[in-house]
Amino acid sequence: MIVTVQKPLNELLDFISPYGKILLAGCDGCTQPPRGLREANTLAQLLELGGKLRDKNFKFKTTTIAKQCDSHLTATMLKPQLEGIDAIMSLACGIGVQEIAQAFPEVPVFPAQNTVFFGAEERDKGAIEERCAGCGNCLLPLTGGICPIARCSKGLTSGACGGSKQGKCELSPEKDCAWVLIYNQLKKQGKLELLKQSRAPRDYQLTGWRVTT
């Protein structure tokens, strides 16, 4: 799932302050926590209230789309709703925001969320944790199925930094050290020799992917 965190209300109010009628577009896709119609309606209420405190009377229309990252669906679903709309605020991840911007270049589009990571729901911990950073060169076969890019605070690809204490990360003590997890996993699999390999750091040229569908 793609995990998002709502931007501060004041930042959202700053985005829309030059406009009067705003379409709030939710997304029913993989964004977590959910960002659909119910969340769009709640956000509309909060922004309306925040607007009044700034002597602004925004008008909001709310909608939702099955998945904003489907460019055809987004363009088709939103087009009939744009009559009289000055700006759009998307509750989707950054991908959805960009699809709207591409479909309607004449309408200003704003993100309601900060997109923070690709994660997994850890129900026993009551948390969603980062698992993948979309690096473009998956190392999981070499690291016992544990991602060093997303789960090591320094994104180290060739082993631990040496600062781990009692299995926790030196930078984020609430987190398990990814390289301790990798060591334990490789040990269970009888593959500790993989730790002797030196690997290049993450290659940031491997971004901007396009695959044919």
Nearer to ligand SF4, 108 or 119 (CB): 119
HEC letters along the chain? CEEEEECCHHHHHHHHCCCCEEEEEEECCCEECCECHHHHHHHHHHHHHHHHHCCCCCEEEEEEECCCCCHHHHHHHHHHHCCCCCEEEECCCHHHHHHHHHHCCCCCEEECEEEEEEEEEEHHHCEEEEEECCCCCCCHHHCCCCCHHHHCCCCCCCCCCCCCECCECCCCCCCECHHHHHHHHHHHCCCHHHHHCCCCCCCCCCCCCCCCC
Nearer to ligand SF4, 10 or 137 (CB): 137
Lay out the site mask for ligand SF4 across 144-183 (x = CB under 6 A, - = otherwise).
Answer: ---x-xx-xxx-x---xx-xx----xxx-----xxx----
Please report whether residue 3 would count as binding ligand SF4 according to CB under 6 A.
no
Size of the site for ligand SF4 (CB under 6 A): 24
Please report whether residue 199 would count as binding ligand SF4 according to CB under 6 A.
no
Nearer to ligand SF4, 127 or 138 (CB): 138
Nearer to ligand SF4, 34 or 159 (CB): 159
**Residue list 70-109, contact with ligand SF4 (CB under 6 A):** none
Tokens of 10: 């004041």
Please report whether residue 194 would count as binding ligand SF4 according to CB under 6 A.
no
Nearer to ligand SF4, 66 or 140 (CB): 140
Q: Which residues bind ligand SF4 (CB under 6 A)?
A: 132-135, 138-140, 147, 149-150, 152-154, 156, 160-161, 163-164, 169-171, 177-179
